[in-house]
A and B are shown apart, each in its own frame.
Chain A
Amino acid sequence: MGEFIGLTIAGLSLGAIYAIAASGLVVTYTTSGVFNFAHGAVGMIMAFVYWQLRVQDHWSAPAALGLSLLVIAPAIGLLLEAVLIRRLNVNDTGMTLIVTVAVMVALMGVAFTIWPPTIGRLLPQFFGPNGHVSIDGELISYEELISIGLAVATALGLRLFFHNTRIGVAMRGVVDDRQLMAMNGRSPQFLNALSWMIGAAFGALAGILTASTYTLDVLTLTLLVLNSFAAAMLGRLRNLPLTFLGAIVLGLANAYMTGYLRLTGWLVELRPVLPTLFLFIVLVALPAVRLRAGTAAVSKAIRVPGARASLVNGAVLVAVAAIAAPFIHGIALGNVNEGAALGIGALSIVLLSGYGGQMSLAQYAFFGLGAWLFGETGHGGNPLGLLAAAGAGAVLGALVALPALRLRRLEFALSTLAFGTLAWYMFLSQPQIIGLGDVNIPRLHLPGLSLQNDRVNLVFLAVVFALLSAGVLAIRRSRYGRILIAARDSEAACATLGLNLRLTKILLFALASAIATFGGAIYGSTQLIVTSNDFQYVSSLFIVLIVYVWGISTPGGALAGGMSLALAPLVEAHVPARFQALTYFFTGLGALTILTHPEGVIPLITERLRLLNPLAAYRSRQTRQVRVANEQLLTTVEVRRATPADA
């Protein structure tokens, strides 16, 4: 009985932390419509700030808590909202996710730099090592009881706030109709800012409790967001009681699993993936959402090269690779090869996210699957192994998409992240698949052409990238490509024209997954040795972020993204160890350029270069003048119609 009580209290305590963190997510999402991927990262930073105050600067616990929770955390929330969030179009799910992922990455860089992970840090318990009570022989720490008490207080406080205060009711209403709220005298921006301040404070509280009860670790605390949104998804990110229920179920399941189940073999991984498994099940079991009008997201049109231009661009790329290859030596040659292989896989992101508007946060799972399959089926470098990988990827992609397609874009993106996490723990990291040790993958062998030389391989990768890019661009120019863009801009309009969105998306996901696994197979063939750590699920966030920054709708963005990831270690090698983590910070900071240039860096540069041509510049000016004239005409007409004398 004592063990059961102990486990229950431990489960409730963990669930309480999840509940507090998830409350912050729900508050910000319900009010601002933006899912904060950086929620865990804010909590992480605040846990370190608290450690700094409490341990390094010897502040008392109440003073350190007061400053952290009531001043610094809300200030961070306010800053994020004022500088970034209010500039986002909440209907653009991709953009909102990417911006908050960028913040997450930047905050990780800050933490790694200020508090290097090489130094161990412990946060003292609030009541010291003897702060516990004994129930039926089981020691229950005050920390655990405090967490439970705080979660109950949070639940009651939020209930009162949202239902019994005018400002709380306004916060619930603002996401439904911002204009209506503004007309009623409430500033939506103020309400948004308030929600981000409250959300950050809850994130901070959850971070400090986690650090105090469990561990003070950058990655663990940052990824607390995954556990908390697993709980929040039970209430579809809007319902606080269901969020609390989800959190408690998760906490208890974790504790009972730890206490009662003796897991062996691959089932050992069930515990760390429990929140993700829970999230995946919740997402799949959620009722299908009905399409909504009024959520059209306008993306800037990006010039699509014609068939001839894309082949010429490809030929130039191959020529550059052939000319440059002899001049690349040593480790750099391996990194450039790796970047090209990643670029091939990243073309899947261009198709899926750039054209289709769907966010997949599981691309590395497909890369890993492709590498493993090529190792298993491409004996002696048999090219048929590439086809096997692509075929399996297409089938798996369609299967993963099948249940998840009933979800909103955000939910779909999160479900792919859950899938990626599960795939890593339960599949790729298993010793019989790839595992943590080295696995040899054969170099691709083409009849009459040896690719054993890395320089030859690099030119071959350029050819593959050029051909696959031309294929992706051909899809974009096709009828299917136009339909993808149309569905990205307005699913509701497409459905009212008779389009079966599910079939369209399944085909999209199957195609993109085929490219990703094909790219993974090429990656494996290029690297020759892989471990499961090469396909860490967190990397999926990074590659989407980087490709987005370079240009999510252009193959050049995929190549630049792959190269950036592969070449970053070369840059880091020249930076003093103390500041190496600043690459995270600058990556995150640089990624925020998509706020001003959502089309990405490469299309921006291409357009600027195009305008150097006087004829193109003239046409661009003409188009702009026509647009301005149209707007002036419209204004004149509206003013005339609104004038009583004309009535």
Chain B
Amino acid sequence: MPLLQTREVTVRFGGVTALQSVSLSADPGTVTGLIGPNGAGKTTLFNVITGLQAPAAGRVLMDGQDVTDLPVHRRARLGMARTFQRLELFGSLTVEENVRTAADIRQLWSRDRADVARMTDAVIARVGLRQYAHSPAHTLPTGLARLTELARALATAPRLLLLDEPGSGLDGAESEEFGRLLGALAAEGTAVLLVEHDMDLVMQACSQIHVLDFGVHLTSGTPDEIRADSRVQRAYLGEADAVPTGARA
């Protein structure tokens, strides 16, 4: 059974339909991509999943349990964690304190009595932030700030990880390293849902990709299938520039 399912999720902002009956799922042990042009509704869907946005219609299921009406913190306690497109760091704390606070919060609601300090160190080392551990978070450049958000999410030992453009600010080598990290997380059984504009990273890390366009679920498939789909090309490049399937190798 998928860990996460959205069923027919619709969101309207006044007269604008941001999401129209979007259904998708994410399985444990996989990295699932969620792509689409700017304004496609990717972040809005993340907000619906985590409870920051109420859908006009549709349901969100975690482990088969309907969580649509649960508040944000109760969903997190089911094992959901996320990063944000617009950074939501604890700017006046250091990197280490950001991560440690997340571990502290987890210890408040979980029965896990693991050593918070050790867990914090391990997570910081894993994302490669050890040398920045004592830097105030508000002084970090974007790439490192995004890694800090990832580390903070990981400190809650999530089963479902929602990453909103984590690759922006990373250079090519860092991006590859980041892809390997996502693969390792998936190998440990975490379900990762990845919103990303860096197509190299998406194609490298994801086994399944969903495409949104103007709030509509356009298609889904493996990276190869998505790469070859003319509808996806049209969504990204526009009707006039669309290239027939297979023409761009």
Listed in ascending order, the chain A residues whose CB lies under 8 Å from chain B are 290-294, 296-302, 479, 482-483, 485-486, 488-490, 492-501, 623, 626-627, 630-631, 633-634, 637-638, 640-641
A483 and B171 contact, CB distance less than 8 A: no
A486 and B143 contact, CB distance less than 8 A: no
Partner of B171, one of A490, A496, A641: A641
A482 and B101 contact, CB distance less than 8 A: yes
Min distance, Cβ B225 to any Cβ of chain A, angstroms: 24
A296 and B89 contact, CB distance less than 8 A: yes
Q: In whole angstroms, how far apart are the Cα atoms of A630 and B138 in the complex?
A: 12
Q: In whole angstroms, how far apart are the Cα atoms of A488 and B101 in the complex?
A: 13
A630 and B50 contact, CB distance less than 8 A: no
Residues of B within 8 A of A633 (CB): 141
Min distance, Cβ A108 to any Cβ of chain B, angstroms: 33
Identify the closest chain A residue to B155 (Cβ).
A497
B90 and A497 contact, CB distance less than 8 A: no
Residues of A within 8 A of B76 (CB): 495-499
With most chain B CB atoms within 10 A of its CB, the pick from A296, A497, A631, A640 is: A497
Min distance, Cβ A474 to any Cβ of chain B, angstroms: 16
Min distance, Cβ B51 to any Cβ of chain A, angstroms: 8
Residues of B within 8 A of A293 (CB): 47, 52, 84, 86, 88
B50 and A496 contact, CB distance less than 8 A: yes
Residues of A within 8 A of B88 (CB): 293-294, 296, 490, 492-493
Residues of B within 8 A of A627 (CB): 135, 139
B169 and A634 contact, CB distance less than 8 A: yes
Residues of A within 8 A of B140 (CB): 630
Q: In whole angstroms, how far apart are the Cα atoms of A291 and B54 in the complex?
A: 11
Q: In whole angstroms, how far apart are the Cα atoms of A492 and B86 in the complex?
A: 12
Identify the closest chain A residue to B134 (Cβ).
A623
Min distance, Cβ B179 to any Cβ of chain A, angstroms: 16
Residues of B within 8 A of A499 (CB): 73, 76, 105, 108
B90 and A485 contact, CB distance less than 8 A: yes
Q: In whole angstroms, how far apart are the Cα atoms of A556 and B53 in the complex?
A: 41
Residues of B within 8 A of A302 (CB): 92
Whether, in the assembled complex, B91 has its beta carbon less than 8 Å from a beta carbon of chain A, the answer is yes
A485 and B84 contact, CB distance less than 8 A: no
Given contacts A486-B101, A637-B171, contact A498 B92 (CB under 8 A): no
Q: In whole angstroms, how far apart are the Cα atoms of A296 and B76 in the complex?
A: 19
- 22 A-B interface contacts by CB (under 8 A): A292-B52, A293-B52, A299-B91, A300-B92, A301-B138, A482-B104, A485-B90, A488-B92, A489-B89, A489-B90, A490-B89, A493-B149, A494-B105, A495-B71, A495-B72, A498-B77, A498-B108, A499-B76, A500-B73, A634-B169, A638-B169, A640-B171
Whether, in the assembled complex, B81 has its beta carbon less than 8 Å from a beta carbon of chain A, the answer is yes
Q: In whole angstroms, how far apart are the Cα atoms of A637 and B174 in the complex?
A: 11
Residues of B within 8 A of A300 (CB): 92, 138
Q: In whole angstroms, how far apart are the Cα atoms of A623 and B47 in the complex?
A: 36
Q: In whole angstroms, how far apart are the Cα atoms of A39 and B94 in the complex?
A: 39
Identify the closest chain B residue to A631 (Cβ).
B141
A298 and B102 contact, CB distance less than 8 A: no
Whether, in the assembled complex, B142 has its beta carbon less than 8 Å from a beta carbon of chain A, the answer is yes
Residues of B within 8 A of A630 (CB): 139-141, 144
The 10 closest A-B pairs by CB, nearest first: A298-B91, A498-B76, A634-B141, A495-B72, A493-B88, A490-B88, A489-B90, A486-B90, A637-B171, A301-B92
Given contacts A293-B52, A293-B84, A627-B139, contact A495 B93 (CB under 8 A): no
B136 and A301 contact, CB distance less than 8 A: yes
Min distance, Cβ A59 to any Cβ of chain B, angstroms: 47
Q: In whole angstroms, how far apart are the Cα atoms of A494 and B101 in the complex?
A: 9
With most chain A CB atoms within 10 A of its CB, the pick from B54, B76, B141, B153 is: B141
Residues of A within 8 A of B11 (CB): none
Residues of B within 8 A of A485 (CB): 90, 92-93
Whether, in the assembled complex, B231 has its beta carbon less than 8 Å from a beta carbon of chain A, the answer is no
Q: In whole angstroms, how far apart are the Cα atoms of A291 and B76 in the complex?
A: 14
Whether, in the assembled complex, B7 has its beta carbon less than 8 Å from a beta carbon of chain A, the answer is no
Q: In whole angstroms, how far apart are the Cα atoms of A291 and B47 in the complex?
A: 10
- Digitize B157-176: 1 where CB-to-A-CB distance is under 8 Å, 0 elsewhere: 00000000000011110000
Q: In whole angstroms, how far apart are the Cα atoms of A498 and B139 in the complex?
A: 26
Min distance, Cβ B85 to any Cβ of chain A, angstroms: 8
Residues of A within 8 A of B196 (CB): none
- Given pairs A297-B91, A482-B100, A499-B76, 12 additional interface contacts (CB within 8 A): A292-B52, A293-B86, A294-B84, A296-B87, A300-B92, A302-B92, A482-B101, A485-B93, A492-B52, A498-B105, A498-B108, A498-B109
B141 and A291 contact, CB distance less than 8 A: no
Interface residues of B in 166-193 (CB under 8 A from A): 169-172
Partner of B93, one of A292, A489, A492, A496: A489
Q: In whole angstroms, how far apart are the Cα atoms of A627 and B52 in the complex?
A: 33
Residues of B within 8 A of A496 (CB): 50, 52, 72-73, 76, 80-82
B105 and A483 contact, CB distance less than 8 A: yes
Whether, in the assembled complex, B97 has its beta carbon less than 8 Å from a beta carbon of chain A, the answer is yes
Residues of A within 8 A of B171 (CB): 637, 640-641
Q: In whole angstroms, how far apart are the Cα atoms of A412 and B142 in the complex?
A: 32
Residues of B within 8 A of A299 (CB): 91-92
Whether, in the assembled complex, B42 has its beta carbon less than 8 Å from a beta carbon of chain A, the answer is no
Whether, in the assembled complex, B106 has its beta carbon less than 8 Å from a beta carbon of chain A, the answer is yes
Partner of A483, one of B72, B80, B101, B172: B101
Identify the closest chain B residue to A484 (Cβ).
B101
Q: In whole angstroms, how far apart are the Cα atoms of A577 and B144 in the complex?
A: 58
A291 and B87 contact, CB distance less than 8 A: no
Q: In whole angstroms, how far apart are the Cα atoms of A146 and B42 in the complex?
A: 53
Residues of A within 8 A of B73 (CB): 495-501
Given contacts A293-B52, A499-B105, contact A634 B91 (CB under 8 A): no
B81 and A497 contact, CB distance less than 8 A: yes
Whether, in the assembled complex, B68 has its beta carbon less than 8 Å from a beta carbon of chain A, the answer is no
Min distance, Cβ B173 to any Cβ of chain A, angstroms: 10
B143 and A637 contact, CB distance less than 8 A: yes
A626 and B135 contact, CB distance less than 8 A: yes
Min distance, Cβ A45 to any Cβ of chain B, angstroms: 37
Residues of A within 8 A of B169 (CB): 634, 637-638
Min distance, Cβ B113 to any Cβ of chain A, angstroms: 14
Q: In whole angstroms, how far apart are the Cα atoms of A500 and B171 in the complex?
A: 37
A493 and B84 contact, CB distance less than 8 A: yes
A497 and B156 contact, CB distance less than 8 A: yes
B139 and A497 contact, CB distance less than 8 A: no
